[in-house]
Structure 1
Amino acid sequence: MAAPSESNGPWYAEVTGYQWLVLAIASAGWAFDAFEGQLFNITRSQLLADLLGAGDQSQAVRLWGDRFLAIFLLGGTLGGVVFGSLADRFGRKPIMSLTILFYSIFSGLTFFATDLWHVAFLRFFVALGVGGEWAVAAALVAEVFPPKARAHASGIFHSTSVLGTWLAALAGILVGTQWRYAYVIGVIPALLVLWVRTSVREPERWQRTGVEQRPRGSFRELFGTPRWRNSAILGLLLAAVGLGTFWGVIVAGQDLTADLLIRLGKSKEEAQQSAKFAYGIVQALGGGLGLLAFGPLAERLGRRGAFALMHIAAFIIVPITCYVPQTYAQQLMILPIFGFCTLSIHAGYAIYFPELFPDHLRATGAGVCFNGGRLVAASILVLSGELKALPGMSLQLAVSILGCLFLLGLVVLLFLPETKGRPLPE
């Protein structure tokens, strides 16, 4: 099928008010997604030190922190796959509402956690909602927006995760060592369900699949058809690189900053508070700009070209961030660049994955790619925890080693198709 002709105006010229509304709702859901995911990262030193009865810089805290992140990735995997399939079967609107309720309620219940297994259980169920909401929202934005605006809108959708990171950082700074109160705030996104229920309509593309009586959300068709199976597996591997490096490398910006400040003579509490600001605000700002930049880059260089460029940039910036800064001011200067290069590729997943699959498998396929990648990334997190806990292993060296994973993304890209300028598969 030939790509439709495009007008010469700006990409947003033909976007309707309802399409902007869908983008706002999807983005709000994803921003709170990121908030729930980042809230643990922001508060985990105090949370784990409290529950373990250990010093907040002990190896046990770091090891359990990475283990809980691995559990989170496992939950996200199951949530993305299951809720993605349900969204293809029953519609985008009801499943989006359900996923938001999942991550809001179980995050709020963390306030009552008194043991490690409580945290593990609750983080797993928070992740179910987080993984599912992304799959539904990414498919919804891709289906509602016109072809010329699709990459830009999807990039904006994913870039709003930085707002969630800022909210988590502010919540962490506000509550200080009283980490339980940060999770009470996590209940607020449940109110978003009312907006979803009253404002969102099912996309016409999804409704047509019911008229045509095509099997919706079928894993048998997804993995039984060579074209869809290859896209799902390769997309999963591409996402695994980004998600593994996110939790093993990108979030280490906070720990790298704290370690630097402690070496400079700051107290642990002062170092942690300054590190929350450096990671949650300064680094996140650069990351948000990188996410916003990926859409225009994908339109200019193609999806594969944009991915390749940013994987190379990420591989280069990681060891620079680990070893070059010698003062807090220098750290604040390098972290936005670090965030820009390493986080930008995540917007590409929201742009690219929905373009790989047909209408009746879009949320299922996108969910398998993005959240199935979490399953592989979980093993990377276990490796990350063990690596950082090795005697004599510095945090800088461990993060630099994990940064080499970006090179694997370049290999995966060699086997994936280019979707720029092509209509969504029907």
Structure 2
Amino acid sequence: MQKAIAAASAGGIKARRTPLTREQIGGFWAVYLGWVLDGVDSVIYALVLVPALTELLPNSGIAATPGNLGMYGSILFALFLIGWGLSFIWGPLADRFGRVRTLAASILIYSVFTGAAAFAHNVWELAAFRLIAGIGVGGEWALAGTYVAESWPEDRRKMGAGYLQTGYYLGFFLAAWLNYTIGATYGWRAMFLCGLAPALLAIFTVLKVKEPGQWRKAANRTTNAAADARADATADEAPATTASSPLRVIFTGALLRRTVTSAALVGVAIVGLWAGSVYEASAVVTLATRAGIDHMGTVRLASIGAAILSLATVAGCLVAPWLAERIGRRAALGVYFAGMAASIVIAFGWAFYLPNGLGLFMASLALLGFFGGNFAIFSLWLPEQYPTRVRATAFAFNASVGRFIGAGVNFLLAAAIHWQGSLGVPVAWTAAAFAIGMLILPFAVETRHDTLPE
């Protein structure tokens, strides 16, 4: 297919993109909605951090001082990321049992335990619910990204990755709207109850969405190979050998380099995601309070800030696949990493400390959002690096390692914020992670001209 497209272009004929089937369109919208709701559930905690901990810390015998709010907020962020990291379990399950059923299970878990957070009586119960919810939330990206890569035709899957990634940040926008209306009126517990909605989607996904054809073919090959091995073993009166586990395969041969570099780069991106998006609401609340704005006004400003961030990230996600096709995956990610580093320094290292910095900080969220669209590059790049039988495992593992890195950074941030009594400078220092990422990029494998491996 790629050769035909290239030949048509060379001959001056404008290649027509492969039309999508009804099954491909319906499946995309199902996993897209799951990714939207995943974004809602992920950012709810960031939006209600201050009011939730203001109530729960005293119930836990801890004073709700600004330093404690920042420190325990970062600890709970870190625990949520640990849950995200544990979500690597979904990859092998998806390679074994299918993308769709596993995706539905992850959606069900994150929705139930996000809703359960509404009934937390102290900070430790909230931490436990967020940890388990993180395990479900973390599976969505790898499973949805793998599904789209395998179900869409080769000439459309790259933009499909960009379209898919916008869903997560559309979820940010939806969460901001919910906080502006429901959260500001009914409080933080009502926001967590909104997180129960995806449970219905999980049921729909299992009933209506079919597995991608590429996975079905790979599963049939594996089944036939296992049957042949058993037949040979019976004939030879010797035990049949079993195939290596997918988790072991991604650390062998040429895949080892891809796994190590990809996991490190995703880790860098996640550090930036949590610096730029999760601390946005707390920073806006702090600046608005400093400016003398009342509680209702600060909640709504935090929601407006989240909306700016999310819409700008949607734009960044749509540009990312186009840029990756023009200059390559590594160079495109380098552009986004450099922009993210500069944006974090401008927002948290400079605007946050200006006497009247609220307006400038709000404006800087557009930059933070746009360059946060770097995750769309991973959505098309990671599937290109691995064959079908280990693709979901590799995607989930690389994302999970990155989340553990992000969790470690958040534990450090908790201590730094408590020591500084402010979140500005500690968060600004996370920009250094992107400098490390740009040093890793030359060692990553470029797949710009490659088709999706079978």
Deviations 1:300-352 (A, max 9, x none): 111111101111111122222232473544333332122112x1111112111
Instruction: Report if the CA contact (8 A) 2:275-2:344 is conserved.
Output: no
Partner of 1:127: 134
Which residue of the other structure, out of 372, 387, 392, is the alignment partner of 1:363? 392
- 8 A contact 2:158–2:380 mirrored in 1: yes
Cα deviation code 1:36-86 (max 9, x no counterpart): 11111111111111110267661111111111111111111111x111110
Relative to structure 1, is the Cα distance of residues 285 and 384 closer, same or farther in structure 2, using a 3 angstrom cutoff?
A: same
Give percent identity, aligned residues only. Answer: 26
| Alpha-carbon displacement from aligned partner over 1:268-295 (angstroms, at most 9, x marks no partner) | x246314422322112211221112111
Instruction: State the AA in 2 paired with 1:189.
Output: P
Tell whether the 8 Å contact from 2:67 to 2:422 is kept in structure 1 after alignment: no
Q: How many residues get paired? A: 420
Rounded to whole Å, the distance in 2 between the matches of 1:288 and 1:210 is 34
Matches within 5 A, 1:277-292: 277-292=303-318
Q: Residue 20 of structure 1 corresponds to which residue in structure 2?
A: 25
Provide closer, same or farther for how the CA distance between residues 261 and 220 of structure 1 changes in structure 2, counting only shifts above 3 A. Answer: same
| Superposition TM-score, scaled by structure 2 size | 0.87
Residues in 1 aligned to 2:408 and 2:392: alpha-carbon distance in whole angstroms: 25
TM-score (norm 1): 0.92
Given the alignment of the two structures, is residue 340 of structure 1 paired with residue 370 of structure 2, yes or no?
yes
What's the offset of the Cα at 1:87? 0.3
1:150 pairs, out of 137, 146, 157, with: 157
Q: Which residue of 2 aligns with 1:42?
A: 47
Tell me the residue number matched to 1:218. 246
Partner of 2:262: 235
- Matching residue within 361, 380, 388 for 1:351: 380
1:117 to 124, 130, 141: 124
User: 3-state DSSP class of the match of 1:370?
Assistant: helix
Amino acid at match of 2:397: V
Question: Given the alignment, which residue of 371, 374, 389 partners 2:418?
Answer: 389
CA RMSD of aligned residues (A): 2.1
Check whether the contact 2:36–2:171 (CA below 8 A) recurs between aligned residues. yes
| Residue aligned with 2:254, SS | helix
Tell me what 2:109 maps to: 102
CA positional deviation for 1:10: 7.0
- Provide the C-alpha distance between the structure 1 equivalents of 2:292 and 2:412, rounded to a whole number of angstroms: 30
Once the two structures are superposed, the pairs formed by residues 2-401 of structure 1 within 5 Å of their partners are: 3-6=2-5, 9=14, 13-53=18-58, 58-79=66-87, 81-173=88-180, 174-176=182-184, 178-213=187-222, 215=243, 218-223=246-251, 225-267=252-294, 269-270=295-296, 272-322=298-348, 323-324=350-351, 326-341=356-371, 343-391=372-420, 394-401=422-429
Q: Distance in 2 between matches of 1:183 and 1:13?
A: 41
- Looking at structure 2, the residues matched to 69 and 11 of structure 1 have their Cα atoms a distance apart, in angstroms, of 46
Give the match's secondary structure for 1:63: helix
Q: 2:440 — aligned with what?
A: 412
Residue deviations 1:344-383, cap 9 Å, x none?
1111121111111110000000001112210111101111
In 2, the alpha carbon distance for the partners of 1:379 and 1:12 equals: 44
Q: Cα deviations across residues 164-183 of structure 1 (Å, max 9, x unaligned)?
A: 11222222222226211111
Structure 2 gaps, min length 5: 226-242
* SS of residue paired to 2:250: helix
**CA contact 2:280–2:302 (8 Å) conserved in 1:** no
CA contact (8 A) 1:11 1:149 kept: no
Maintained 8 Å contact 2:169/2:314: yes
Gaps of 5+ in 1: none
Looking at structure 2, the residues matched to 217 and 125 of structure 1 have their Cα atoms a distance apart, in angstroms, of 25
* 8 Å contact kept, 1:255–1:275: no
Residues of 2 paired with 1:217 and 1:171: CA distance?
43
Between structure 1 and structure 2, the one with the greater Rg is 2
Distance 2:306 2:275 in 1: 16
Q: Secondary structure at the match of 1:421?
A: coil
